Structure 1
Amino acid sequence: MSAARAAASYQALQRYLAVGDGSGLYHERYPVAAGDNAYSYEWPFSQAHTATLDLTGMPGGQGEAYLRDLAARAVGQQRYWKASGGTTGKPGYASYPVPPYGGGGDFFYDDNEWVGLLDVQRYLTHGDREALERAERVFQLVVSGWDSDTAHADSGGVFWTQAAWSQDRNTVSNMPGAQLGLRLHQITGQASYLDWARRMYDWTNRHLLSPDGLYWDHVNLTDTVETTFWSYNQGVPVGVNVLLYEITGDREYLDRAQRIAGAAHSYFVTGGRLLGQPPYFNSIYFKNQLLLESVAGGHTHRDAMREYGETVWNRYRDAGTGLFHFDGAAWTETLQQAAMVQVYAALAWDPADCRKLY
């Protein structure tokens, strides 16, 4: 059932949200409204890219049908790549397509980390060496975003963006960076990847881990902490601790992963807050929980993910179009639709193969 739902949700994504001008890009939402950009920002595109990648991992030959589409996503992804122009001198993915499709945009470190992680997954799933090389270049950009000014409050950490209007350092710009570094260390054996991953992990734990065992969102340069709990900010630290356990063999990391996962389950699932989270945060949250269960065993989080997918399918899906409409909205965002493709595709994976997620 999950594979069929993933396929149907993806077909709707392609029918209503893919741009038909040969660019390989997506609209930000459907229906397109007056004043909307011609194309989506990089973050929604990366999640459509990830959704396609997750489809290729479905077992029993089902994933093979999406390999051509995965190649098309790589072409579209390149529309955001800037070989120069970042404030740190490192290339990366801009927030909007570059010429001739758009004017580019600022670099967001978390946006780039998601692409780096999907590139690692492409390598682990399909042996794509070019994707691995791009992931390594993305990590160089991430490292260049480290706050090295010791005069700053809570100095250290990777900034959220290079844009001048924000100097926040976030859980989401540091923990996914750590996860990317750990994956690259596992693949290449290079010590520098592990060293930087530990720095990002340790900084986040010092400054953004709450007494409740959950992670706050960000801290600014005046030491003001934004204390919102988002589901994806709990999921990624789970995955980071699982990878640290695999690399070091230290059981404490696996115990930490289980403690965070348990606290998040209590807060979001048992506490009834999960449907109040954006689906694109929940897809990241749950997939990291599947990574945990692929190593530690159990099915608590897979069961919760399946229940979430069932609820969303029955409550928010338009059966006529196959699109999901959240919070009573008249439109569907690429980011939302792609997230639900990921949820259903990942549920269709063999549980043991979920070690390749993120």
Structure 2
Amino acid sequence: MSAARAIAAYQALQKYLAVNDGSGLYHERYPVVAGDNAYSYEWPFSQAHAATLDLTGLPGEQGDAYLPDLARRSVGQERYWKASGGTTGVPGYASYPEPPYGSGGDFFYDDNEWVGLLDIQQYLMRGDRAVLARAEQIFQLVVSGWDSDPSHADPGGVFWTQATWSQDRNTVSDMPGAELGLRLHQITGQQTYLTWARRMYDWTNRYLLSPDGLYWDHVNLTGTVETTIWSYNQGVPVGVNVLLYEITGDQEYLDRARRIAAAAHAHFVTGGRLLGQPPYFNSIYFKNLLLLEAVTGGRTYREAMAEYADTVWERYRDPGTGLFRFDTGGQTETLQQAAMVQIYAVLGWDPDDHRLLY
């Protein structure tokens, strides 16, 4: 059933949100209204890219059928690549397509990390050396975003963006960077990836881990912490600890992963807060919990994910279009639709393959 739902949700994504002008890009939302950009920002596109990759993980010929679409997503992804680099001079993905499709945009480190992680997943699934090389380039960009000014409050951490209007350092710019570095270390054996991953991990634990065992969102340069608890900011640290356990064999990392997962489950699932989280945060949250259960066994988090998926299908899906509508504005975002494709797709995987997720 999950695979069939993933395919149906993907068909709706392609029908209503893909742009049919040869660019390989997406609209930000449907229906398009006056004043909307011609194309989506990079973050929504990357999640449509990840959704297509996750579909290729469906068993057998069912997954293989999406390989041509995955190749098309790779072409579209490069519309955002800025080889000349951003403010640090390191290449990366801009927040909006580069010319001739758009005027580009600021670099966001988390946006780039999600692409790096899906590149790693594709490498692990398909052995594609080209995407591995791109993931390594992205990691160099992330390292260039490290705050090296010791005069700042809570010194260190990867900035969220290169845009001048924010100087926040976030859980979401550090923990996914750590996860990317750990995956690269596992694949290449290079020590520098592990060293940087530990640095990002340690900084986030020092400054953004709450006494309740959950992670706050970000800290600014004056030391003021934004204490919002988002689901994806709990999921990624679970994955990071699982990878550290696999690399080091230190049981404490696996115990930490379990503690964070249990605290997050109590907060979001038992506490009834999960539906209040954006689906694109929940897709990342649940994927990392599946990674944990692929190592430890058990079905608690998979069952919570399946229950969430059922609820969304029954409550938020428009059966006429196949689109998910999570608010009263009457529009569906590419980001939302792509997230649900990911959730249904990975629920349709062989559970042993969840070790490949981020």
1:164-217 CA-to-partner distances (Å, cap 9, x unmatched) read 000000000000000000000000000000000000000000000000000000
Give 1:61 deviation, angstroms: 2.3
1:79 counterpart SS class: helix
Code of the aligned partner of 1:89: G
C-alpha distance in 2 between matches for 1:248 and 1:276? 36
Q: SS of the counterpart of 2:66? A: helix
> What residue is the counterpart of 1:55 in the other structure?
55
Quote the offset at 1:84 in angstroms: 1.1
CA distances 1:21-66 after superposition (whole Å, capped 9, x unpaired)? 0000000000000000000000000000000000000113210110
- Supply the distance in 1 between the matched residues of 2:297 and 2:251 (Cα, whole angstroms): 14
Paired residue type of 2:162: Q
**Which residue is 1:114 aligned to?**
114
The number of residues matched between the two structures is: 358
- Aligned counterpart, 2:233: 233
Distance in 2 (alpha carbons) for counterparts of 1:86 and 1:33: 31
Q: How far apart in 2 are the matches of 1:134 and 1:112? A: 10
CA deviations over 1:255-283 (Å, ceiling 9, x no partner): 00000000000000000000000000000
Who is 1:145 aligned against? 145
Unaligned runs of 5+ in 1: none
Q: In 1, Cα distance between the equivalents of 2:255 and 2:349?
A: 25
5+ residue gaps, structure 2, are none
- 1:65 corresponds in structure 2 to 65
Instruction: Please name the residue that 1:281 is paired with.
Output: 281
Moved more, 25-34 or 80-89: 80-89
> Take 1:146 and 1:85, find their aligned partners in 2: how far apart are those partners?
16
**CA RMSD in angstroms, aligned pairs only:** 0.5
Query: Which residue identity is paired with 2:287?
Result: K
1:92 equivalent in structure 2 = 92
Q: What is the TM-score of this pair, normalised by structure 2? A: 1.00
After TM superposition, the runs of 4+ consecutive aligned structure 1 residues lying more than 3 A away are none
| Alpha-carbon distance between aligned partners in 2 of 1:256 and 1:58, rounded to the nearest angstrom | 30
Tell me the distance in 2 between the aligned counterparts of 1:190 and 1:170: 26
Cα deviation, residue 320, structure 1: 0.6
Residue 202 of structure 2 aligns with which residue?
202
Q: Quick check: 1:293 aligned with 2:293? A: yes
CA–CA distance in structure 2, aligned partners of residues 342 and 170 of structure 1:
24
Q: 1:290-329: CA deviations, max 9, x gaps? A: 0000001100000000000000000000001000000223
Residues 78-227 of structure 1 aligned to structure 2 (within 5 Å): 78-227=78-227
User: Pairwise mapping of residues 16-31 of structure 1 onto structure 2 (< 5 A)?
Assistant: 16-31=16-31
Identity of aligned residues (%): 82
For 2:314, the equivalent position in structure 1 comes to: 314
Match of 2:304 in 1: 304
Could you tell me the TM-score, scaled by structure 1's length?
A: 1.00
